Amino acid sequence: MMATILLVDDEASVREMVSEVIRQSGHRVITADSVAKAKAIFTSQAIDLVVTDLVMPEQSGIDLILEFRQIKADVKVLAISGGGGITGRFDYLPIASLVGAGAILKKPFSINEFSHKLEELLNAN
Ligand SMILES: [Mg+2]
């Protein structure tokens, strides 16, 4: 099944790399570099799954999950993060799970790890 994936990350290099993996998996990808831009896309297009970074300069991926769940309670979210804040010592991934991310993945990850998580979540009910 071809899905439409919304990919949100403030880092261009991550957007490029992950977009390529999503396309190679046979899916359509739309990217956004901020939660605000992602929200505009999410409210105007049919999105099957959201892949979001957690640490971003304005609103965080945690904000995204909370806001998107207000719009669509069963939104599928795969959270990707390398850790937290400026120090990198705080791990936001468990918090993403608590607020509703269906899957989490720590950066850096392999193409196989990402594809596996993506398909698993796409196929989940
Ligand atoms: Mg980031």
* Residue 30 pLDDT: 98
Structure tokens at 89: 């010592």
Distances (CA, A) of 31 to 8, 46, 87, 90, 99: 6, 14, 27, 26, 22
Tokens at residue 15, please? Answer: 């957007």
Which run of H or E residues covers position 24?
Answer: helix 12-24
What one-character DSSP code corresponds to residue 98? H
Q: How far is the CA of 17 from the centre of ligand 1 (A)?
A: 14
* Model pLDDT, residue 85: 55
pLDDT tens for the chain, 125 residues long, are 899 999 999 999 999 999 999 999 999 999 999 999 999 999 999 999 999 999 999 999 999 999 999 999 999 999 999 865 555 567 899 999 999 999 999 999 999 999 999 999 999 98
Q: How far apart are the CA of 104 and the centre of ligand 1, in A?
A: 15
Residue 87 is predicted with a pLDDT of 58
How much distance in Å is there from the Cα of 3 to the middle of ligand 1? 24
Sequence-distant (6+) residues with CB within 8 A of 94 are 104
State pTM to two decimals.
Answer: 0.94
Domain limits for position 62: 4-123
- Cα 83 to ligand 1 centroid, rounded to whole Å: 9
Task: Indicate which CATH number applies to the domain containing 42.
Answer: 3.40.50.2300
Query: For residues 108 and 114, what is the distance between their CA atoms, to the nearest angstrom?
Result: 10
Amino acid at 110: S
Q: Which residues contact 89 (CB under 8 A, 6 or more apart)?
A: 83
Q: How remote is the CA of residue 74 from the centroid of ligand 1, in Å?
A: 24
Q: How far is the CA of 81 from the centre of ligand 1 (A)?
A: 7
Beta strand pairing call for 77-81 and 103-106: parallel
How many domains does the chain divide into? Answer: 1
